[in-house]
Amino acid sequence: MNTHQPALSALILRVSLALMYLAHGALKLFVFTPAGTAQYFASLGLPGVIAYPAIAAELIAGLMLLLNIQARWAALALVPQLLGTIVLVHGANGWMFANQGGGWEYPAFLIAASLALFFMGAPERSKHD
């Protein structure tokens, strides 16, 4: 029995990240709404307009991960956005994500998982897929 399955490991990690990023983008789009997300960003001292590319990044990168289109680069592209959530939102709330306001545990894990996928070298779709 071959217990070393790097392709399966990459698939599980890639699909898990895809679903998580799609869920977060959809939450901002359909529940908080783009305007509400923009207001929240403005409350953090950011230009509210940054909310729109943030939503688009999560949805587009999530789809790219799900469809395995430049998946490594899609995962890497979201790392700065996740770092921003730690610096601007979750960092002051402590480590545990269960803390009020959510700590930085979860975004840090997503950074690690995204970097792992990037460095793992997940197989990309061939031009014939």
Could you report the per-residue pLDDT of 44-69, keeping only the tens digit for each?
999 999 999 999 999 999 999 999 99
What confidence score (pLDDT) does residue 129 get? Answer: 42
Cβ atoms of 60 and 116 within 8 Å: the answer is no
What confidence score (pLDDT) does residue 97 get? Answer: 86
Per cent of the chain over pLDDT 90 is: 81
Written as six digits, the tokens of 8 are 């399966």
Kindly give the interhelix angle for 51-67 and 34-43, rounded to the nearest 10 degrees: 120
Q: Is residue 129 part of a domain?
A: no
Total count of domains within the chain:
1
d(CA 13, CA 100): 28
Q: Is residue 127 part of a domain?
A: no
Q: Is residue 126 part of a domain?
A: no
- The domain of 113 spans 6-120
